[in-house]
Structure 1
Amino acid sequence: MNSDSESLQNQLIAWLLAKKAQTNDPKLVNCEENEGVEHINQTAAALNGGAFELRCLPRTIQLGEIPTVQERFQAVVKRRLQTQIQNHPPLFPWEAQLIEYPECLDKPALELVPVWGWAVQQSKLNLPIHLPERIFQQLLEKCQAMIASSIPLGAKLVAAVESLFPEEYQTLNDLAGIVLRSPSRSDALETMPNLESDYSDLQPQQQMALSLLAAKQLLENLTLPVSATNPLVERQWLTSAGVLTLKVEYQTQGQLTKLRVETELPFKAIVNLQGDAAQATAESSSPGCLSVELHNTQPNQTYTLEVELKEIDQQPLVFVIVPTL
């Protein structure tokens, strides 16, 4: 009896060890996780004489598949982040909740001074048509660049306008002669019929004549002529910050001469009066009066007066003073 029990026990242990060896096989795994697999095994065994057992090969990841897995993982994360941002948009630091801002404001909260404040002076010129600001600014820059030059006025006009009408030098020369001989703007433009109400509607020759007329008036505005018989001249220049007023006085006492410039400034400014051998500079920290003067000035010598208002433009406005006897 004991021998039979020991024999049975040995057979049971041997059977268990055999089952464990099959279970621990690293290359084969029983597919008993799926529902109904035992029935499939039995059916397959019956068809193959009872010797068939269904098994599955393990799914292993090859080295070449790792980047693919990473790309898929990143794509999933990206989609989830996009969804989260759409559902919960981020807020600015000053916002406590999501706010819809209008695309445009009906009225600006703050009126800013234009970048180029000297252009307002155009409204004081005697022109039949308003020039585009870009053209007026270019004309003023050209006029200031040659204001102190000794070349004739007609050549200055052509040089100021020439860049606007390239390859039209002869036509500009002819029209400059008409502008110089004409005492008024109507005479300068009477040869240009059908004058419209907008600069872009004008014919090329009409645009040339109008630009030459504007350049002539700008040069006149920027020139401050004084003499012993006419020692005082006053000029006003309209800016976006207010009116700039200049008073130039040419004082003579025997052999002693002096140039004195008084300015009424709409804003804090720097005023510089300069000749060949001397200069005088004054600076104000607030609107108001400011004056500069030069002694021992010489007749027929050119003196430049620069007025710098940084609040409206980084470039100063340049005037020229030529005292005569």
Structure 2
Amino acid sequence: MNSDSESLQSQYLGWLLTDDVKNTDQSVECEENDGVKNLHNEATASKSSEPKLGGTPQTFQLGEIPTVLDRFQTVLKNRLQIQAQDHPPLFPWETQLTEYPDFVDEPSMTLVPSWGWMVQQSKLTLPTRLPERVFQQLLEQCQALVTSSVPLGAKLVQVVENFFPNESQALNDIAGLVLRSTYRSVSTLETMPAIQSDYSDLQPRQQMALSLLAAKQLLENLTLPLSATSPVVEREWLTSVGALNIRVEYQSLGKLTKLLVQAELPVKGSLTLRGSGTLAMTTSSTSGYLNVELGCEQLNPTYTLEVEFPEIDEQPLLFVINPTI
């Protein structure tokens, strides 16, 4: 038998006789036929420089190599099958083996609620649409800062600064332009030309301007100002299940002042009205009108209104009410 044949045979036998393969239940036992019983012993002896005294060297014909290959493939296949049974593969989002139902009767009710407030983007006047990821983060930041007492320009910069690190000066400059252009003409945003490019294709300064415009409109949507000349304010917020309509009214009855909130809900939910140390909450099990009110001898500087729809979102939508009476 030539040296090449012996080398190839030894290589496959080395793979075949690893510890992992020998320890599997499905591996082929050494007592099987076809002359494989003594294969391991002979292969081990062939590596030693001192052959057994009186022993006859074991030789193989070239025609036997395919048999070894077939045997190697069979054992390898069995090994992989056992490993797959003992350790099934997981999806990228799984950390352990999970059983899933064959079907879901009511997917909208049983699955994890999504960010149902994001539909409001369709009501914003923007030259191009923001990616959902960007809009969601903007809305989250606006929710976190809507009650802040800092000036609107600084608040806008704080909302978008995480998108543009180390660009505070440029953000301040563009935020000033956004505020001034809106002040000069209330129809500025309505007459703004559309941008054909996607958000990701815009230049950084264009992305800054677009993000600041969106943040300003979101903060305006989430702020409900009241005054002596305008004691009533209304808002509409689109959700994934329909429109939420809110009406806030300031009422004065002698020395007692009262803040009344009326909401038309597209789905069952709750309203929570908070003042300085005071709270009023009401819940509805169906869609329709829901009222909540809070009375006090003197109006507080700010109130907050939380609207919660558990069916569409895990997080409530937060409005701030600013009376200036």
Q: Which range, TM-score by smaller chain?
A: 0.5 to 0.7
1:137-148 pair list within 5 angstroms: 137-148=136-147
Give me the whole-angstrom Cα distance separating, in 1, the residues matched to 2:295 and 2:260: 9
Q: Helix, strand or coil: the match of 1:236?
A: strand
Decide whether aligned partners of structure 1 residues 176 and 76 sit closer, same or farther in structure 2, where only a CA change above 3 A counts: same
Does 247-256 or 315-324 show the bigger shift?
247-256
1:238-277 pair list within 5 angstroms: 238-277=238-277
Shift of 1:139: 0.7
Once the two structures are superposed, residues 4-31 of structure 1 have per-residue CA deviations (whole angstroms, 9 ceiling, x without a partner) of xxxxxxxxxxxxxxxxxxxxxxxxxxxx
Q: Which residue of 2 aligns with 1:151?
A: 150
Shift of 1:68: 11
Once the two structures are superposed, residues 182-232 of structure 1 have per-residue CA deviations (whole angstroms, 9 ceiling, x without a partner) of 126995799x99944311111100000000000000000000111222111
1:76 and 2:75 are equivalent in the alignment: no
Contact kept? 2:128, 2:195, Cα under 8 Å: no
Contact kept? 2:26, 2:78, Cα under 8 Å: no
Q: Helix, strand or coil: the match of 1:150?
A: coil
Contact kept? 1:147, 1:222, Cα under 8 Å: yes
Give the residue type in structure 2 aligned to 1:244.
L
Decide whether aligned partners of structure 1 residues 211 and 249 sit closer, same or farther in structure 2, where only a CA change above 3 A counts: same
Give me the whole-angstrom Cα distance separating, in 2, the residues matched to 1:213 and 1:73: 66
1:130 and 2:129 are equivalent in the alignment: yes
Q: Which residue of 2 aligns with 1:304?
A: 304
Q: What's the TM-score once normalised by structure 1's chain length?
A: 0.65
Q: Which residue of 2 aligns with 1:323?
A: 323
Once the two structures are superposed, residues 130-152 of structure 1 have per-residue CA deviations (whole angstroms, 9 ceiling, x without a partner) of 00011111111111111111110
Contact kept? 2:234, 2:246, Cα under 8 Å: yes
Q: Which residue of 1 aligns with 2:180?
A: 181
Q: Helix, strand or coil: the match of 2:197?
A: coil
Shift of 1:314: 0.7
Give the residue type in structure 2 aligned to 1:175.
I
Give me the whole-angstrom Cα distance separating, in 2, the residues matched to 1:196 and 1:248: 38
Q: Which residue of 2 aligns with 1:165?
A: 164
Contact kept? 2:271, 2:282, Cα under 8 Å: yes
Q: Helix, strand or coil: the match of 2:310?
A: coil
Give me the whole-angstrom Cα distance separating, in 1, the residues matched to 2:25 and 2:133: 56
Give the residue type in structure 1 aligned to 2:231.
P
Give the residue type in structure 2 aligned to 1:124.
K
Q: Helix, strand or coil: the match of 1:163?
A: coil
1:201 and 2:209 are equivalent in the alignment: no
Decide whether aligned partners of structure 1 residues 255 and 188 sit closer, same or farther in structure 2, where only a CA change above 3 A counts: same
Give me the whole-angstrom Cα distance separating, in 2, the residues matched to 1:185 and 1:137: 26
Shift of 1:241: 1.0
Decide whether aligned partners of structure 1 residues 210 and 186 sit closer, same or farther in structure 2, where only a CA change above 3 A counts: farther
Give me the whole-angstrom Cα distance separating, in 2, the residues matched to 1:322 and 1:258: 14
Give me the whole-angstrom Cα distance separating, in 2, the residues matched to 1:159 and 1:169: 9
Q: Any unmatched runs of 5+ in structure 1?
A: 1-66, 86-107
Tell me how many residue pairs correspond in the alignment: 237
Q: Helix, strand or coil: the match of 2:178?
A: helix
Decide whether aligned partners of structure 1 residues 110 and 275 sit closer, same or farther in structure 2, where only a CA change above 3 A counts: closer
Once the two structures are superposed, residues 107-153 of structure 1 have per-residue CA deviations (whole angstroms, 9 ceiling, x without a partner) of x9987487111110000001111000111111111111111111100
Give me the whole-angstrom Cα distance separating, in 1, the residues matched to 2:155 and 2:117: 20
Give the residue type in structure 2 aligned to 1:76.
V
Shift of 1:308: 0.8
Give me the whole-angstrom Cα distance separating, in 2, the residues matched to 1:276 and 1:68: 69
Q: Any unmatched runs of 5+ in structure 2?
A: 1-18, 30-73, 82-103
Q: Which residue of 1 aligns with 2:287?
A: 287
Q: Which residue of 1 aligns with 2:57?
A: none
1:230-245 pair list within 5 angstroms: 230-245=230-245
Q: Helix, strand or coil: the match of 1:164?
A: coil
Contact kept? 1:196, 1:202, Cα under 8 Å: no
Contact kept? 1:228, 1:251, Cα under 8 Å: no
Q: Which residue of 2 aligns with 1:40?
A: none
Q: Which residue of 2 aligns with 1:64?
A: none
Give me the whole-angstrom Cα distance separating, in 2, the residues matched to 1:199 and 1:159: 20
Q: Which residue of 2 aligns with 1:38?
A: none
Decide whether aligned partners of structure 1 residues 297 and 250 sit closer, same or farther in structure 2, where only a CA change above 3 A counts: farther
Shift of 1:289: 1.2
Contact kept? 1:158, 1:176, Cα under 8 Å: yes
Shift of 1:233: 1.0
Which protein shows a greater Rg?
A: 1
Give me the whole-angstrom Cα distance separating, in 1, the residues matched to 2:127 and 2:21: 75
Shift of 1:76: 3.1
